[in-house]
Amino acid sequence: MPTALITGITGQDGSYLAEFLLQKNYRVLGIIHPESTVTYEYINQIKDQITTVNGDVNDEEFLARIIEKYKPNEIYNLAAFSFPPASWNYPVLTGEITAIGVTRLLETIHRVNPGIRFYQASSSEIFGNPREVPQRETTPFCPRNPYGVAKVYGHWITVNYRETMGLYAVSGILFNHESPRRGLEYVTRKIANGAARIKLGLANDLQLGNLDATRDWGFAGDYVKAMWLMLQQDEPEDFVVGTGQAHSVREFCDIAFRYVGLNYQDYVVVDPNYYRPTEKNSLVANPAKARQKLGWKTSVDLKGLVHMMVEADLEQLARQK
């Protein structure tokens, strides 16, 4: 039975990945920061099937003890200060966790067990203001916030440990991936939750920023399979993962409100305070390499994703009500 170690296991991606790996008959171990403010909500249904330990990915001695004790075959580094706009409020903390934490993990693997296969969660935020559309593995990086800058560091340090130290270390450049487990601070969940609240009479409007901003949105449950596939290849390589289709916030709103029988134009209020100071141009993936080499593909389209998210919020809010 192979063993996988997941940092950030309580988050959206970590919980979906843990479920996926359990289906693949892995022993799953998760690291949870002792001062983390996240809940265990997303892993409650599998808590009896996994092992969790409290610790800090910036503590190399702790990491060494965990690797020596549990002997993981694969490590998935999903831990990050992961909300890009808020990274301007905590730029140093963002760098410590999202950049330097990657180095500490890689160095510990190199020192303790260089045979471990390592996955680094990179992000489309590294492209920032992209130099070409769509973006592929060779598109130049141009991050536009501290989170994106930290992810560039994490990406390149992973490449360097692979090419210089000979580790099996890869980065998945994942574009926006959503689910009912997405945090309420993200615009997709904000829309889904807002539509559900308005439908249930719990809110009168929904305040958003730039409705014409576009993103490449997919279902998080599909994307964790790509993470796993990257660690099953003969040679380590980086991959762009996305749907290859860009959609606007306006379109997301339209689908969400139509699902509950409402017109978004009657309820959505544009507030300039929600505009990003450096709004990016079109971020959309060119996932050709992932499709060809990994055999990866999506199973949920945008409409299905939005409906899934709104329905989950309707059910949750109805229970609370």
SS3 annotation, 96-156: HHHHHHHHHHHHHHHHHCCCCEEEEEEEHHHCCCCCCCCECCCCCCCCCCHHHHHHHHHHH
Is residue 319 classed exposed, middle or buried when 0-12, 13-18 and 19+ CB atoms within 10 A define those classes?
A: exposed
Q: Give one DSSP letter per residue of 84-100, joined into a string.
A: GGGGGTSHHHHHIIIII
Annotated catalytic residue: which of 15, 82, 122, 123? 123
- C-beta of residue 72 within 8 angstroms of C-beta of residue 119: no
- C-beta of residue 252 within 8 angstroms of C-beta of residue 306: yes
Helix (H, G, I), strand (E, B) or coil at 21: helix
How many other C-beta atoms can be found within 10 angstroms of the C-beta atom of residue 68?
11
Which two structure tokens, joined as six digits, stand for 135?
């973006």
- C-beta of residue 208 within 8 angstroms of C-beta of residue 191: yes
Residue 145's nearest CA partner among 281, 274, 276 is 276
Assess whether 125 carries a catalytic annotation: yes
In this structure, what are the phi and psi dihedrals at residue 269, rounded to the nearest 5 degrees? -115, 125
Residue 109's nearest CA partner among 145, 154, 162, 149 is 162
Annotated catalytic residue: which of 19, 74, 125, 251? 125
The strand order across the sheet containing 239-241 reads: 51-54, 27-32, 3-7, 74-77, 117-123, 168-174, 239-241
Annotated catalytic residue: which of 16, 76, 147, 267? 147
Assess whether 96 carries a catalytic annotation: no
Which two structure tokens, joined as six digits, stand for 120?
């680094």
Assess whether 235 carries a catalytic annotation: no
- Provide the annotated active-site residues: 123, 125, 147
